[in-house]
Each structure stands twice: as structure tokens, then as C-alpha cells.
Amino acid sequence: MKKIVFLALIIFTINSCTSIDETITIDVQDYSTTTHTTINTDLKVVNLVVDQDEFNEMYDNYNEFEEVEIEGFFNLYKNGELLIEDEVVELEIKGKVSAQFDLKSLGVKFDDTYNNTDRVLIDVETLPFHSIDKIKAFRLRNSGNDFEDTMLKDISYTKLAIDAGLDIDLTYAEQTVVFVNGSYLGIMNLRTEANRNGIYRLYKEDKDDITLAKINHGGTLEKKNGDFDKIDRLITAIDTNDLDFLLQEIDLNNFIDYMVFQSMIGNSDWPENNVRFFAIKEGPFRFIMFDLDKVAIKDLDADPLDFINNPVKNPVTDLFNVLYADSEFKNNFNSRFDEIKNSGALSPEKFNAIVSYYKSNIELQMPMHIEKYNNPSSFTDWYLNLEKLKNDFSTRIKNLD
């Protein structure tokens, strides 16, 4: 008898789950028959015209260690009007973990730099020291690790930093619906790049004048472009606690804002990962922020310095600690932290308004997206995930008091 009872419990436990049966009260188009010309949306609509066999080969056999680029044509529509026609582009799959999802992020690189002065491709407000007038490359992003949750987490946190007017380099995004050869692919964020192609256009500089390094998962440094000796000198100065050199070689206002924001919002996939820093010519290094899809997912009550002092050794944590040992830097950091916190620029109300804006943009499209990918598992789940996104940020900010 006891064995039967426990066996039954184990079987039930394995099946422990929540099932949701929902009725959506808005009209939902069928993704299998909807095309870029018949979709009912106010969002911009991308249609990529490619060799379908080449695209399938690249998409289905993606391997992060093998770069596969295919050529195609980029078309952009809004409310049925063709805005950009047959721009030649190169396409490749982007991402690592997030590339395992059924909807993969695509890197799109124009054959010729696209002139965006009329804001046709991407039309968003930028920080005063940035330019999106010319765009060499951009990404159609699946929202990274947030693909299964809200589809707008990364762009919402980025918008929060933009609206706060922080001295941070970042990416700019607009929500779109993407088709490939007229077949529905899904909702994606059309986002500027955080690589050399993105940075040199952001600052209207020459591509060859950019020195760029990144920190990959595990805190490993990767020298990407430009003057590698300059990067080596920086790393040596960090390792030898050469404070004077670091004070000269780091854009301190940018570094402080970058560290304050990332630690305030509680990014747990940083700084031993998702770090890129660059210098223009002989200028100081600045940090560019991207991939905020693992923000406020754990340790919501942790001290901001705990996020900076990631247990995995990495150059950013080491750099911060060398600088933080200097009383003037420490005072500047703490003052700026208090200033941003007390300004209300990162208030839950402001974040909720951003989330609501992005949510309303894609709300009518989400059922079709969910129907295709079953991620999130239901429209109800998407609503609940949005609520959790706002709750987590609110809890995080309140815990800073």
C-alpha cells in the first residue's frame, strides 16, 4: 500500500505543472498565411529576400564557431508603404546561448552604409553625443535570453538609461515584425550594433580609428579591433594597480555612469561577460552597454557593489577596485550613485511607462508570435511576465534605499 502511494506521488510530481486554457478577445492573424503585405500592424515590417535554401542551411545548422554569411535584399514597410527597397545586405546568425532558440537573432550588414538622416530605418531619440544618421550594420534581435519571457526587456532597460541622460554608450532599438521571403519569422528588435560597425557610426568617426576589446563569458579578454598594444597597456596598468595611468586612460564620467547603472539595476550577466570597451584614436577608453536581458533576475536585495565584485575574475571588476581605492574616485562614484538614485530617473514609474509603451507596440502581434514559437507558453504568460519584469525592477530599486 505504502509503495503504491509513493509511486503515485512520484508520477504526479513528474507531471506537476500549470496548464492554461485561454481565449484571446482580439483578432489574431494566422502566421502561416500572413505575409509582409497582409499583416495588420503599425510596426515597421521587414522582409528579407534571400535564397531560401541558403537561409535554411545557415539557420538550421548554426554553429557559433563558424561564421556563415549569406547575401540578401532588405525591404522595409510601414502601414503597407515600401520605405526601403532591395538594399543589398549580408546576413548572419548572431548570439550564443540565445541562438539556440527557434527564433535566432540576425546580423544585417549593408553593402553600402545606409543614410538614416531621414530616420526611415530607425527612428528613436538618441543621447546628444550620439548619431544614428548613418548605419553600417544592425541586428534583428530575438531579445536574447528574454525571448521566452517578454521580448522587450533589453530595450526597456536600455531606454531607461537613455531617458536618464547618462554618459553611457549603448544601442538603439525599434520593434519590428520580420518576414523572410514573405513568410512570417516573428517579432524582433531592430537594434544598432555594439561592435566596431556600430561604434564608429555612433561617433561619426573613421572605422580604422576604433580600438575595441570585449570580455566574454568567464571574464576572458578578447581584443577585437584597432591598436592591440593600447589594450595591452590598459590591462597591464590594471594588473599593476597603476592608478595614474588608469585615470588618464579611462573616461571616468562614462565609467562611473556605466558602473552605477549596471550595478543599480542588478545585471547578473556582467561584468564577467557582456562587456565591450573602446577608444577612438588615442582617446580614453569608454564602455558600451548592451544585452540587458539578465537584469534583476536574482539577488534583488544585494548591495550594488556585490554585482560589481563578481566572483569570476575579470578586468572590469579589477579596474573598478583599483580606481575605487582612490578616495577621489570613490567619492565621485558614491556621489554620482546617490545623485542618480535620488533624481528619480530610475524610478519604477518611469520604467513601468517604458514597459507599457513597448508592450502596447507589440501587444496585437504577440498572439501570432506565440502561436508560432510557443514562447512564452501563452498570451497569459506574456502578460504575467511583463508584470514580473516591472515587479522585479521595482523591488530592486526599493532595495537600494
Partner 1 sequence: MKKLIITALLFCATISYSQNEFQIESNLGFLYQKDISINNEILKSTGNFGARIGANYLKKFDSNMYFETGLFLKYTTGTYKIETVDFNFNSIRLQVPFYVGYQINDLWRFNLGASVENNKDFEDLAFYLNENLRYDFLVKVAYNYSDLLDFSLYANTMVSKTKDINTLTSPRNGVYIGVIFKIPNSKTNKED
- The site for partner 1 (CB under 8 A) is made up of 1-2, 5-6, 9, 12-13, 15-26, 268, 297-298, 300, 352, 356, 359, 363, 378-380, 383-384, 386-388, 391-392, 395
- Tell me, rounded to whole angstroms, the distance of Cα 81 from its chain centroid: 28
Which string of DSSP letters, residue by residue, matches 169-194? B---EEEEEEEETTEEEEEEEEEE-S
**Which of 169, 392 has the CB closer to partner 1?**
392
Q: How far is the CB of 29 from partner 1 (least distance, A)?
A: 14
Q: How far is the CB of 376 from partner 1 (least distance, A)?
A: 10
Q: How far is the CB of 174 from partner 1 (least distance, A)?
A: 22
Q: How far is the CB of 388 from partner 1 (least distance, A)?
A: 5
> What distance in Å separates the CA atoms of residue 75 and residue 106, rounded to the nearest whole number?
15
Q: How far is the CB of 267 from partner 1 (least distance, A)?
A: 13
Cell of 304: 550594488
Q: How far is the CB of 1 from partner 1 (least distance, A)?
A: 6
**Which of 23, 327 has the CB closer to partner 1?**
23
**Which of 63, 298 has the CB closer to partner 1?**
298
**Which of 347, 356 has the CB closer to partner 1?**
356
**Which of 126, 377 has the CB closer to partner 1?**
377
Name 159's Cβ contacts closer than 8 Å, sequence gap at least 6: 354, 358
> What distance in Å separates the CA atoms of residue 398 and residue 201, rounded to the nearest whole number?
37
Cell of 173: 532599438
Residue 119 backbone class (left: φ over 0; alpha: ψ -120 to 50; beta: rest) = left
What is the bridge-based pairing of β-strands 183-192 and 134-141? Answer: antiparallel
Burial group, residue 81, by CB count within 10 angstroms (0-12, 13-18, 19+):
exposed
Measured in residues, the chain has a length of 401
**Which of 22, 339 has the CB closer to partner 1?**
22
